[in-house]
Amino acid sequence: MSTPPTPRGSSRQNITSLQSHILSEEARYPGSTGDFTWILSALSLAAKAIAAKVRIARLEDVLGDHGSANVHGETQQKLDVIANDILMTCLGNRPSIALVASEEDEEPTILRRGSEGGKYCVIFDPLDGSSNLDVCVSVGTIFSILKNDPSVSGAVETLCQPGSRQVAAGYILYGSSTVFVLTTGNGVDMFVLDPSIGSFVLVQSKIRVPPTGRIYSVNEANRDSFPAGISRYLDWAHHNGYSSRYIGSMVADIHRTLLKGGVFLYPPTKKNPEGKLRLMYEANPIAMVVEQAGGQAVAITGGGSARILDIEPRSIHQRTSVVIGSRDEVEAVLRHG
């Protein structure tokens, strides 16, 4: 009698879905209600729906400009709006979510009060790098989950918590495969969507950023307006055999940095002296992921640098600079002033 084929390559292994992984993690904490699991389930559902739209965007003619601008004055892409609607719909149905806020919306959306069961707040960038979709470059969703404080009356004030108070964060990368990277404060895990079963499957646990990596990622076209210390660093990197890798889609650049090492930079410029990336739904969640994987995440300030997760937000759309990646490589940037 022949031996049946072994699924998923040559080694036998259990298949762990995102949902079962979350449930097993939740079981470690007595008294857990499952509310948090439902939120991550909503994000998983939204990710599948967005991934499906991205795959057929050209066929459905949903590429290009939507014809409107978001709160930052940036031209919205058609898929920005679609992804935002998908996330709002999926998260809005979860009874434990009090507030949601998006890059695409000027004000947060209040779903329910704390007295009505609203325990958490979710902030997200629905489709980072969406302008790259026209040429089939990878894009992503970035999300941050915070606890709702019922004693704080205003929606904006409730959300303006430093990144160190995030209870979970992550991103979904829509590329050659759909990848869900998650941290709940206990390391970083990576899941890949298996379209044959319609589930995100655990492929790597406790990811660690390599401590070094001779790769830097920055838009060097802006070099003339970078701070002097960043220019000195780039000169040093050029003379020490570093490679430049810049995709122009933050999630894709960060994902490479997470797995291969190196450093991702978005420094201040003369046009954007505080930086261009948004603190709360881009920098904070990515910083939490990278720190949980053993890396480092800082902002360049007028007086030096600051840990991103320690910055006190003033508004939900606040901007920041970032230097994120392997610990040794971030330190190399900082040494140059």
Inform me whether the pLDDT recorded for 198 exceeds 60. Answer: yes
Closest by alpha carbon to 124, among 62, 16, 47, 228? Answer: 47
- 28 domain-assigned: yes
Same domain, 233 and 179: no
Place of tokens 């076209």: 221
Query: Is 149 within a domain?
Result: yes
103 and 193 share one domain: yes
Are the beta carbons of 53 and 82 closer than 8 angstroms? yes
Instruction: State the average pLDDT over residues 84-104.
Output: 94
Question: pLDDT at residue 182 above 60?
Answer: yes
> What is the percent of the chain where pLDDT is above 70?
91
Burial 90-117 (b: 16+ CB within 10 A, else e): bbeebebbbbbbbbbbeebeebbeeeee
Based on the fold, state whether residues 257 and 229 are members of the same structural domain.
Answer: yes
More confident residue, 44 or 68: 44
Q: Per-residue confidence at 270, pLDDT binned at 50, 70, 90?
A: very high
Pick 206 or 30 by higher pLDDT.
206
Q: List C-alpha distances in Å: 25 to 35, 80, 122, 147, 169.
A: 13, 32, 20, 18, 15
Residue 68 has pLDDT above 80, yes or no: no
Q: The pTM is what?
A: 0.91
What pLDDT does residue 114 have?
84
Of 278 and 33, the one with more pLDDT: 278
Q: Region 96-122: what's the mean pLDDT?
A: 92
Domain count, the chain: 2
Q: Is residue 1 part of a domain?
A: no
Q: Same domain for 168 and 229?
A: no
pLDDT given for residue 10 in this prediction: 38
Average pLDDT score over residue span 165-169: 97
- What is the residue-wise DSSP string for 153-164? -SHHHHH---GG
Per the domain annotation, does 325 fall within a domain? yes
**Domain limits at 313?**
215-335
Distance CA 71, CA 280 (A): 15
Say what the pLDDT of residue 22 is: 87
Whether the predicted pLDDT of 217 surpasses 90: yes
4 burial (CB, 10 Å; 0-12 / 13-18 / 19+) is exposed
Residue 251 has pLDDT above 50, yes or no: yes
Q: Is the pLDDT of residue 39 over 90?
A: yes
3-class secondary structure, 120: strand
Number of H helices, E strands in the chain: 8, 18
HSE (CB half, 13 Å, CA atoms) of 325? 32
DSSP, collapsed to helix, strand or coil, labels residue 125 as: strand
Least confident of 11-25, 74-88, 164-178, 244-258: 11-25
Give the residue-averaged pLDDT of 217-241. 97
Considering 137, 172, 204, which residue would you say is the last residue of a domain? 204
| Res 1: pLDDT | 43
Query: Is residue 226 domain-shared with residue 327, that is, in the same domain?
Result: yes
Mean pLDDT of 84-103: 95
Q: Give the mean model confidence (pLDDT) for residues 18-44.
A: 84
Domain membership of residue 170 (yes or no) is: yes
**Residue 93 and residue 170 in one domain:** yes
Residue 36 is predicted with a pLDDT of 86
Residue 210, in any domain of the structure: no
* Same domain, yes or no: 31 and 177: yes
Clarify whether residues 22 and 170 are in a common domain: yes
CATH number, domain of 229, equals: 3.40.190.80
pLDDT at 13: 61
Per-residue model confidence (pLDDT) at position 14: 74
| Res 12 pLDDT > 50 | no
Is a pLDDT exceeding 80 seen at residue 94?
Answer: yes
CATH code, domain with 24: 3.30.540.10
Give the mean pLDDT of 200-216.
97
DSSP summary character for residue 279: I
The answer to whether residue 27 scores a pLDDT higher than 50 is: yes
Mean pLDDT of the residues in the chain: 90
Q: Give the whole-angstrom CA distance, residue 170 versus residue 287.
A: 10
Phi/psi at 218 (5° precision): -160, 150
Measured distance CA(236)–CA(214) in Å, rounded: 12
d(CA 249, CA 257): 12
